[in-house]
Amino acid sequence: MAAIQRKKLRACRRATEKLDFFDGLPDDLVVCILGKLSASASSPSDFVSILLTCKRFHRLGLHPLVLSKASRETFAIRAANWSDSAHRFLKQSAGAGNVEACYTLGMIRFYCLQNRGSGASLMAKAAIKSHAPALYSLAVIQFNGSGASKGDKDLCAGVSLCARAAFLGHVDALRELGHCLQDGYGVRKNVAEGRRLLVQANARELVAGLRSMTWQPQLHRLCSSTTTTSFCCPLLSDFGCPVPVPEVHPANRFLREWFGLGRGGLGHKLRLCAHGGCGRPETRPHEFRRCSVCGKVNYCSRGCQALDWKVRHKGECSPGEQRWLEEDGGGEIGGGGGMEMVEGEDDGENVIIG
Ligand SMILES: [Zn+2]
Ligand SMILES: [Zn+2]
């Protein structure tokens, strides 16, 4: 009797093994599951491994609904791995309406591939959907007149974009807006309000830093493996509290790596923003402002300059070496103080940042 039961059980198990329940799932359910997986992918290889699982995952993984939900990290492509297929993947994801893909591809096209029109319109597509980094990047482009001539700077547009990004919680935009108000740059001067925004930016940074304190062991490991030391330096000395520098957006990391590898796009006499977490290059000679004390470093924005001053340049900046004056034929030197910058172009406009 027991032997018959065992036989029946074995037969039943074999029959169950032959059945693949997964095949019975409808496509829309699989797409929904893949959407959740792509939203939590922590790297491009995470997403690729989903596609490589089976033919069905490969087919449905590239469905617009899945691509539209993919996480920011899915598009954190390393510059060394840039290829036509990576470009196609970003393009397909941007076409599916993924704002992170729009922004990342926009930055790459604008700065690395010299396709300014397409890059700016992709960033605008992300900005319309309230993507704060895209709004801030467009603000930087407007402030500098990037991709066009110096006369194409639109300071008012830069301030409005910055204000929108700051409202959405973008700390760099908040800091930039604070400096604009303090200096009356593109907006009516209001020193007290500017100062208030700068304090708010510092406070937000402090909160973000304290939140990430529990991550510090990992951060330190990451930092020890990078060649740039600027990502681990104590920030917010104003508060006497050493906290890690905010995380770098994958698009900025891509830019930094791209130009670090010398993969092209950076023309003669064009310089990179000296802030290690930025990676933006000049699009014409003397586009960026330079430090008025040493004249050795250039920045795309006052936000980058203020941050780099705190984490790195404060310890390196030394007056006296002013050979750059002859080399650049650039703007006038502002009065003392490491937090002062001069326009890179020969318009004599000094911009003081607090
Ligand atoms: Zn910068
Ligand atoms: Zn300096």
Q: Is the domain of 276 the same as that of 311?
A: yes
Per-residue confidence (pLDDT) for residue 149, from 0 to 100: 81
Of 245, 263, 281, the residue that ends a domain is 245
Q: Is the domain of 257 the same as that of 226?
A: no
**Does the residue 6 lie in any domain?**
no
Could you tell me which residues come within 8 angstroms of residue 18 by beta carbon, excluding any fewer than 6 positions away?
none
As residues whose CB is below 5 A from the ion ligand 2, the structure lists: 291, 293-294, 317
Distance 226 CA to ligand 1 centre (A): 19
pLDDT tens string, the chain, 354 residues long: the values are 556 666 766 765 665 555 567 778 888 899 999 999 999 999 999 999 988 988 888 899 999 999 999 999 999 999 999 999 999 999 999 999 999 999 999 999 999 998 999 999 999 999 999 999 999 999 999 999 998 888 789 999 999 999 999 999 998 999 999 999 998 999 999 999 999 999 998 888 888 777 766 544 544 444 444 444 344 444 454 555 555 566 789 999 999 999 988 887 677 788 999 998 899 999 999 999 888 888 889 999 988 888 888 888 888 888 765 544 444 433 322 333 344 555 554 333 333 343
* Cβ-based neighbour number of residue 302 at 10 Å: 25
Ligand nearest to the CA of 175: 1
Q: What is d(CA 16, CA 7) in angstroms, rounded to the nearest whole number?
A: 14
List the structure tokens of 185: 């740059």
Distance 8 CA to ligand 2 centre (A): 83
Per-residue confidence (pLDDT) for residue 212, from 0 to 100: 66
Per-residue confidence (pLDDT) for residue 224, from 0 to 100: 44
**Does the residue 162 lie in any domain?**
yes
Per-residue confidence (pLDDT) for residue 264, from 0 to 100: 72
**Does the residue 257 lie in any domain?**
yes
Q: Tokens 């940042």 map to which residue?
A: 353
Strands of the sheet with 289-291, listed across from one edge: 298-299, 289-291, 340-342, 350-352
Of 201, 217, 245, the residue that ends a domain is 245
Q: What is d(CA 33, CA 44) in angstroms, rounded to the nearest whole number?
A: 18
Q: What is d(CA 354, CA 352) in angstroms, rounded to the nearest whole number?
A: 6
**Does the residue 273 lie in any domain?**
yes
Q: Is the domain of 278 the same as that of 339?
A: yes
Ligand nearest to the CA of 299: 1
**Does the residue 294 lie in any domain?**
yes
Q: Is the domain of 138 the same as that of 235?
A: yes
Q: What share of the chain is helix, strand, coil (3-state, %, to 5)?
A: 60, 5, 35
**Does the residue 29 lie in any domain?**
no
Distance 329 CA to ligand 2 centre (A): 17
**Does the residue 337 lie in any domain?**
yes
Q: Is the domain of 218 the same as that of 280?
A: no
Tell me if 303 sits within 8 A of 254, measured CB to CB.
no
Ligand nearest to the CA of 296: 2
Q: Is the domain of 229 the same as that of 146?
A: yes
Ligand nearest to the CA of 271: 1
Tell me if 166 sits within 8 A of 204, measured CB to CB.
no
Domain tally for the chain?
A: 2
Ligand nearest to the CA of 143: 1
Distance 334 CA to ligand 2 centre (A): 12
Ligand nearest to the CA of 289: 1
Among 175, 161, 137, which residue's Cα sits nearest to residue 353? 175
Q: Which amino acid is at 213?
A: M
Q: Is the domain of 200 the same as that of 293?
A: no
Q: What is d(CA 169, CA 166) in angstroms, rounded to the nearest whole number?
A: 5
Distance 255 CA to ligand 2 centre (A): 23
Q: Is the domain of 343 the same as that of 256?
A: yes
Per-residue confidence (pLDDT) for residue 155, from 0 to 100: 93
Q: Is the domain of 135 the same as that of 222?
A: yes
Among 83, 105, 86, which residue's Cα sits nearest to residue 94? 105
Radius of gyration of the chain (CA): 25
Q: Is the domain of 239 the same as that of 134?
A: yes
Q: Which amino acid is at 151?
A: G
Our CA angle for 140, 307, 334, nearest 5°, is: 80
Q: What is the CATH number of the domain that holds 160?
A: 1.25.40.10
Q: Which domain holds residue 145?
A: 130-245
Distance 67 CA to ligand 2 centre (A): 44
Q: Is the domain of 288 the same as that of 304?
A: yes
Of 216, 245, 274, the residue that ends a domain is 245
Q: Is the domain of 233 the same as that of 335?
A: no
Phi-psi region of 303 (alpha: psi -120 to 50; beta: other; left: phi over 0): alpha
Per-residue confidence (pLDDT) for residue 353, from 0 to 100: 40
